[in-house]
């Protein structure tokens, strides 16, 4: 009989990069963990969101959160326009 273990993937932010070390904020206390840039996904930088997987008291870096990376590339005006559009259509017609 095999037992299946479900691991919860986490999303965490790269706080900064100094001397080829990425500082990632982990947990509710936002504790800084250091990761060498050699193991970071291509394109990772400050404010990148990483998808991590806990394993045996450590964290494995899986990939960049691509949805967040795409959102960061949009201009502020584009994000504001989309938010207004969703708000108008969510509220429905005004009588």
For the chain (95 residues), the mean pLDDT of every run of 10, in chain order, is: 59 93 90 93 91 87 84 75 75 56
Q: Is the pTM of this model over 0.75?
A: no
Domain hosting 84: range is: 10-91
Asked if residue 3 belongs to a domain, the reply is: no
Residue with tokens 């207004």: 84
Judge whether 52 and 10 are in contact, CB under 8 Å: yes
- Cα-Cα-Cα-Cα dihedral sign, residues 77, 69, 20, 18: positive
Q: Which tokens in the block code for residue 15? A: 């706080």
CATH of the domain at 20: 2.40.50.140
Q: Is residue 4 part of a domain?
A: no
Residue 1 lies in a domain: no
Residue 18 domain-assigned (yes or no): yes
Main-chain phi, psi angles of 9, to 5 degrees: -80, 145
Residue 38's pLDDT is 95
Smallest Cα–Cα separation from 63: which of 36, 40, 45, 38? 40
The pair phi, psi for residue 57, each rounded to 5°, is 80, 5
Is residue 64 one of the residues assigned to a domain? yes
The count of structural domains within the chain is 1
Q: What pLDDT is attached to residue 1?
A: 40
């Amino acid at each position: 009989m095999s037992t299946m273990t479900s691991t919860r993937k986490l999303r965490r932010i790269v706080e900064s990069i100094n001397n080829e070390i990425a500082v990632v904020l982990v947990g509710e206390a936002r504790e800084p963990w250091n990761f060498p840039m050699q193991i970071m996904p291509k394109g990772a930088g400050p404010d990148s969101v990483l998808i991590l997987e806990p394993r045996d008291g450590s964290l494995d870096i899986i990939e960049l959160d691509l949805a967040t990376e795409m959102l960061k590339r949009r201009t502020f005006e584009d994000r504001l326009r989309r938010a207004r559009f969703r708000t108008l259509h969510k509220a429905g017609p005004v009588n």
